[in-house]
Amino acid sequence: MLGGVCTGLARHLGWPVIVIRVGFVALLTFQFLGVIAYGALWLLMPPESATKAPGLESAARAGLRDQSKPTRRMDWGMLVALVALGSGLLWIVQTSGLGISQQLFWPVAFACAGAALVWRQADSAHQKEWKAEAGGRVWLAPFVARGGWPALVRVIVGLGLVGAAFGIVVAQQGNIEQLPEVMAMTTLALAGLAIVLAPWLHRSRSALNEARAAKVRADARADMAAHLHDSVLQTLALIQRQADDPKAVQQLARRQERELRTWLYGDELSDLTLKAALMAAAAEVEDERGIPVEVIVVGDCDTSDAVQALVRAAREAMVNAAKHSGADKIDVYAEVDEDKVEVFVRDRGKGFDPATVSEDRMGVRGSIIDRMARHGGTAHIRSTPGDGAEVRLEISR
């Protein structure tokens, strides 16, 4: 109850906490062995990880939330203080005659270190995941869990230390000169045990891998169901309510099409690129004016001040086409070269005569032509009445 070791160990092993506490009390009768084991586990057990909300886990799987784990900083001052305190208490207990005998001290130390290395492989940050995958067999996690060669080395070294402790105890019961023979026999015994258990561990690992794959598929289905509920079904409900308004239905369908395309193909773009900026501008025009805007971008680049001015001019050209052309669709084509960026905004509407555009038409002259000129670019408008219009924007990178 002092450091939460019994509770943490019970959660780790899946045992009742009362059993762990009774075991530590029983170890107190063996020359304060329980105190030493409790102190060692108190120092070595990792802290409990915070429980994640299901919504955050789903967002992380969907790529909408960073999954990187924060760096765990070691408080070396506290570690040194705890080691010094533990060493001092251990020295007092040993010198006062209340501790364990010298013959048992090092075997116990080796055994505690080995057990700590083995179980450290299954730290508390992975207990919930392993418990779900292994069907509650958390005690098996250190031996079959993923972790690569470092994890395997920790398990082997930990088992080796436990075997060394056993060998020392056996040798001390007889002749210390027989220690090499005892260690050799212990090694052979551990090797034989490993050979016997290897097929069973392999089957357990295969079962865990199958459980992981099933969990991934279940998570994918859950994410898909949640997305369909949050987006598609909601849009369909809105379409049913506005079935008598064809323009609103078309606008809702186009918006849902964009969202589904982004979600299905992972076409999530950074706001710092030309393609993302043009797609966002086209989506705004679609939502505001209710006219489809098809965007095709060949190549991509970062959005410098000049490129941002190009995007704003292109957006104004889209707005003008949606307001005045009468076309049922607007096409936007952008191409990025090594030294320049070009954007074409076309419609198949009624068109106009550019020469008749008055000076006070800021939408064309101020927001498109003059804006491009201020940033070192050019804007060319080609249109004839009855044949649509094309606005060509060009700027150097």
The whole model's pTM is what? 0.44
* Res. 316: pLDDT tops 80: yes
Domain-located, residue 63: no
Answer yes or no: do 293 and 160 share one domain: no
pLDDT attached to residue 330: 93
Domain-located, residue 232: no
pLDDT attached to residue 296: 93
Residue where one domain finishes, among candidates 161, 182, 208: 208
Domain-located, residue 56: no
At residue 8 the predicted structure's pLDDT band, cuts being 50, 70 and 90, is confident
User: What percent of the chain has pLDDT above 90?
Assistant: 14
Answer yes or no: do 167 and 307 share one domain: no
Residue where one domain finishes, among candidates 156, 188, 208: 208
165 lies in which domain range?
5-47+80-208
At residue 2 the predicted structure's pLDDT band, cuts being 50, 70 and 90, is low
Task: Compute the mean pLDDT over every residue in the chain, rounded to the nearest whole number.
Answer: 72
Residue where one domain finishes, among candidates 208, 224, 259: 208
CA distance 355 to 344: 20
pLDDT attached to residue 361: 65
Domain-located, residue 215: no
Answer yes or no: do 21 and 153 share one domain: yes
Per-residue pLDDT of 270-294, as tens digits, reads: 557 899 899 889 988 888 788 889 9
Number of folded domains that form the chain = 2
CA distance 299 to 311: 15
Answer yes or no: do 203 and 301 share one domain: no
Answer yes or no: do 179 and 320 share one domain: no
Answer yes or no: do 201 and 275 share one domain: no
Answer yes or no: do 379 and 277 share one domain: yes
CA distance 146 to 142: 9
Q: Looking at residues 83-90, what average pLDDT do you find?
A: 64
CA distance 393 to 330: 16
At residue 125 the predicted structure's pLDDT band, cuts being 50, 70 and 90, is very low
Domain-located, residue 133: yes
Domain-located, residue 245: no
Phi, psi of 306 (to 5 degrees): -65, -40
Domain-located, residue 219: no
CATH classification of the domain holding 326: 3.30.565.10
Answer yes or no: do 310 and 385 share one domain: yes
pLDDT attached to residue 315: 92
Answer yes or no: do 288 and 384 share one domain: yes
Domain-located, residue 34: yes
Whose CA is closest to 291, among 247, 249, 253? 247
Least confident of 131-140, 197-206, 254-263, 312-321: 131-140
Answer yes or no: do 178 and 273 share one domain: no
Phi, psi of 75 (to 5 degrees): -85, 90
Q: What is the DSSP string of 288-322?
A: HH---EEEEEES--B--HHHHHHHHHHHHHHHHII
Torsion angle, alpha carbons of 137, 139, 141, 144, to 10: -90
Q: Looking at residues 255-276, what average pLDDT do you find?
A: 71
Answer yes or no: do 150 and 32 share one domain: yes
